[in-house]
Amino acid sequence: QKEVEQDPGPLSVPEGAIVSLNCTYSNSAFQYFMWYRQYSRKGPELLMYTYSSGNKEDGRFTAQVDKSSKYISLFIRDSQPSDSATYLCAMSYTGNQFYFGTGTSLTVIP
């Protein structure tokens, strides 16, 4: 069983839709959770970071962590064509070595 599971998609939504991206994990010791965005032919870049459980909001993006269910989510409100990318979840128990999901490919259609 993989440490981190993520639905690869692809996901296609109309502009303005609310997008929900999710990851599940098996290691209950994970306490650092990150979401990265990766545009085509580029390296991933950090989008959101949360520690332990709870929600974190940054503009149109909200990250949620439910440690009891071993489930994390990223919500994108009012999605834009510029949000079209692959979204990777990543998690760690030490903060040094991160385990990545496989990535979900998102396309926002104008």
Partner 1 sequence: DVKVTQSSRYLVKRTGEKVFLECVQDMDHENMFWYRQDPGLGLRLIYFSYDVKMKEKGDIPEGYSVSREKKERFSLILESASTNQTSMYLCASTEGAGPYEQYFGPGTRLTVT
Q: Taking the complex as a whole, how short is the minimal distance between the CB of residue 77 and partner 1, in angstroms?
A: 23
Q: Taking the complex as a whole, how short is the minimal distance between the CB of residue 15 and partner 1, in angstroms?
A: 27
Q: Taking the complex as a whole, how short is the minimal distance between the CB of residue 66 and partner 1, in angstroms?
A: 19
DSSP the chain: --SEEE----EEEETT--EEEEEEES-TT--EEEEEEE-TTS--EEEEEEESSEEEEETTEEEEEETTTTEEEEEESS--GGG-EEEEEEEESSSSS-EE---EEEEEE-
Is the CB of 36 or the CB of 64 nearer to partner 1? 36
**Contacting positions for partner 1 (CB under 8 A):** 4, 6, 8, 32, 34, 41-46, 49, 51, 88, 90, 92, 95-98, 100-103
